[in-house]
Amino acid sequence: MAWRCCILKWTRINVIPAEKIVARATRLDFYCQVRRGFRRDVKRPKKGNISLPERPQGTTLSPHGPKPKLHKPLMFTVGFTGCSFGAAAILQYENFKSRVRTLRDKEESEKLLRGSTDMAYWHDWWSQLTLFQRQVILFMSVADHFWSGLTEGQKTVTGIIVANVVVLCCWRIPAMQTSMMKYFISNPAAKSQCLPMVLSSFSHYSLVHLLANMYVLWTFSSGIDWLLGREQFLAVYMSAGVISSMFSYICKTTSGRIFPSLGASGAIMAVVGAVCSRLPEAKLSIIFLPMVTFTMGTVLKVVVATDAAGLLLGWRTFDHASHLGGALFGVWYGAYGHQLIWSKRDSVVKMWQRIRRPGGGGGGGGSKPASGPGMDDNGGPRGPK
């Protein structure tokens, strides 16, 4: 739910004498301000002088004004998407090597522990600890047990949730308001068009907005990780945030209804679209009504139809264009993207190997990621056919 927000930034006030203002000067454009969750009334001008605030960056443009140019955001979208999948391929290769080294180190450590079975040593060590040190060790043990019980998808989503919470806290710092409004709100009419396409996917202005989005992402985390794997999931999520923003830019510029937006729902809708299109018969239920169930295919149809209607009818409660763009990208990637993009990542991995080992390139120097249990021929996690 990428919420529409119009944020007023008072940067400069031009004072104009009253005699130079025509009689119809009362027809000024006022913009609602979102600050700490409340709307602030526009101050009435004093007699004799009328203060005209400068048009803030990111407000709705006049229908007769020039439309924003989108060639830079388009090139940024293509480049960022390619870099995301390339970085994910390298990350998967490095993680596989790290897991192999970890297994070897674990075997060696087990051999060493077999020779030191003296429990009296560990009893003496524990008795020498203070009460605070024991409580810290017990807390770390409980946290490690909880973390080990999470799936790989839930662990990945936990990192995303932490990043979103940090950004939400930054919105509450007055000294950072200028930077947050400049880089964490996407708007095709703003001076900064490209970087906010990424950062706005981690930006939420209210706690309810954040909780709703993160709950949906957590619900589909295990399914998307089982289908794509952690690295490919991250690539799809990051790319979907930019692609959904680009789709929103195009729709806003074409229709002339230009307004700023923020939120992770564009990227989340891609996750929902990918999982629902690949597992249409899987069942879902409402959190407060567990007896009411429906299929994922039905959820996808309802979501796409609602956002399409909102886009055509001009509903501005949510950024329906971003929702629809993310959902369509997720459906497309679930059907064709894995074979067209992810299965051809070997060239990126081989290039990375040549960079890491300049003298070992060619011949047997560049081996492709090994496969193992739960891995396909390209080194990626297996999924449903």
User: Which residues are known catalytic residues?
Assistant: 265, 323
Q: What is the Cα gyration radius of the chain? A: 26
**What is d(CA 267, CA 323) in angstroms, rounded to the nearest whole number?**
8
Give the whole-angstrom CA distance, residue 314 versus residue 320. 9
Residue 333 has a CB neighbour count (10 Å cut-off) of 25
Q: Is 261 exposed, middle or buried (0-12, 13-18, 19+ CB in 10 A)?
A: buried
Of the candidates 258, 268, 286, which has an alpha carbon nearest to the alpha carbon of residue 223? 268
Question: What number of helices (H) and strands (E) belong to the chain?
Answer: 14, 8
- Residue 314 Rama label (left phi>0; alpha psi -120 to 50; beta): left
Does residue 372 come out as left (phi exceeding 0), alpha (psi in the -120 to 50 range) or beta?
beta
Pull the structure tokens for residue 224. 């998307």
**Cα separation of 275 and 1, whole Å?**
18
